[in-house]
Amino acid sequence: MNVGKFLAAVCLCAVFALPATAGVTVSSPSSGSTLGSPVHFVAKASSSCAKGVAAMGIYPAPGVLAYKVNGSSMDTSLSMSNGSYNVAVQEWDNCGSSSKVYLALTVGSSSGTGKVFSNLQKSGGWTGYALLPPAFGICSSCTPTGSKAKWSWTQGVSSPSMDGISTKSSYNGGTTQWADILWNNHLIGDFSSQGLPDISKTLAPSLHNFTYDVYFWVGNISDSQALEFDINQFVNGKSYIWGHECRIAGGHEWDTWSNPGQHWVKSGVACNPISNAWNHLTINVQRTSDNHLLFHTITLNGKTATLNRYDTPTSTTWYGITVNYQIDSDFYRTPYSVYLDKFTFTVK
């Protein structure tokens, strides 16, 4: 017998007998972490299979496949109820093999630091500013009764109102076209209006999920260029701006703010508030476990749009959590008012 041929055959058989090796690498979330829902999963898979990885999936419980995607990578957000999980992230290759890794996760706030701010429209702490083109920075010389842009903020309005304590926000005209009127309230951290200065700097960094819930009433929605609703978090030297703009004169569409790009990003989601009626808006966003911004959902008058757009924070020296509300004037500088009621902001 030819020994060389025999050894070659044995080696060749051994090569074909070896199973394809594979592996899963999860970059988000980290095993052992506590985080809010939805949970942001980012993972990649590799395999020695010549045909590559076929698919990846997430099992929050044994036998429960909650998400599956074709290919060797995933980047998705998965809604999960509060509780403890041993999540399996699995890959399947095209050679019939698979592998998985397990993540120990706790969904929900383990420290009980969630906060609910109710009826913010009647709260103190609101400060108004005029933002003027072309840069739309704060106009330091503008006043509510000045000539460039006029505005007012009137609390405790009984009509229109849902409960007798609505707030009337108004753009009252001016000489500047496209003027924006911004109102801001510092809730947690620096300059807190809610008695939450967070001097130890432990509360704000523990919060990851934010819900902005408000009812608003406009006589003629066409008088507005746009309405804006923002959530802002400044922690660990990073600025997270979840800006949401309902373009009216600009095309009845929602835009979200690009933090590094400093511009608006079209969402493709329609925004059609109703005139002479109360509109109910709910916005949900998240600072993910890997410290990215997640623009999650927008619900207007019962219709929910899931965006799941991720963004990157920028640097800042500010600290805390704030909310913004803004009304924009149109080309004709048409005065108009928007009434706010049942404004609730939830953080956890």
In the chain, where are the structural domains located?
A: 21-107, 115-347
Q: Are 24 and 66 in contact (CB under 8 A)?
A: no
Task: Report the DSSP pairing between strands 314-315 and 320-328.
Answer: unpaired
The pLDDT tens digits along the chain (348 residues) read: 443 433 333 333 333 334 445 689 998 888 877 777 788 888 999 999 999 999 999 999 889 999 999 999 998 888 888 888 999 999 999 999 999 999 988 887 544 467 999 999 999 999 999 999 998 999 999 999 999 999 999 999 999 999 999 999 999 999 999 999 999 999 999 999 999 999 999 999 999 999 999 999 999 999 999 999 999 999 999 999 999 999 999 899 999 999 999 999 999 999 999 999 999 999 999 999 889 999 999 999 999 999 999 999 999 999 999 999 999 999 999 999 999 999 999 999
Which tokens in the block code for residue 324?
């913004």
Predicted TM-score of the model (pTM): 0.75
- The identity of residue 178, as a single letter, is W
Q: Are 227 and 157 in contact (CB under 8 A)?
A: no
Which residue bears the tokens 């404004």? 343
| CA 42 to the chain's CA centroid | 17
Distance CA 215, CA 279 (A): 5
150 by Cβ neighbours in 10 Å (0-12 / 13-18 / 19+) ranks as buried
Write down the CATH number for the domain with range 21-107: 2.60.40.10
Strand order in the sheet with 39-47: 22-28, 39-47, 73-78
Collapsing DSSP states into helix, strand and coil, what is residue 124?
Answer: coil
Distance CA 290, CA 26 (A): 11
Classify domain 115-347 at the CATH class level. mainly beta
| Residue 61 DSSP class | B
Task: Mark residue 39 as left, alpha or beta (left: phi above 0; alpha: psi -120 to 50; beta: remaining).
Answer: beta
Which tokens in the block code for residue 114?
């969630």
| CA 54 to the chain's CA centroid | 31
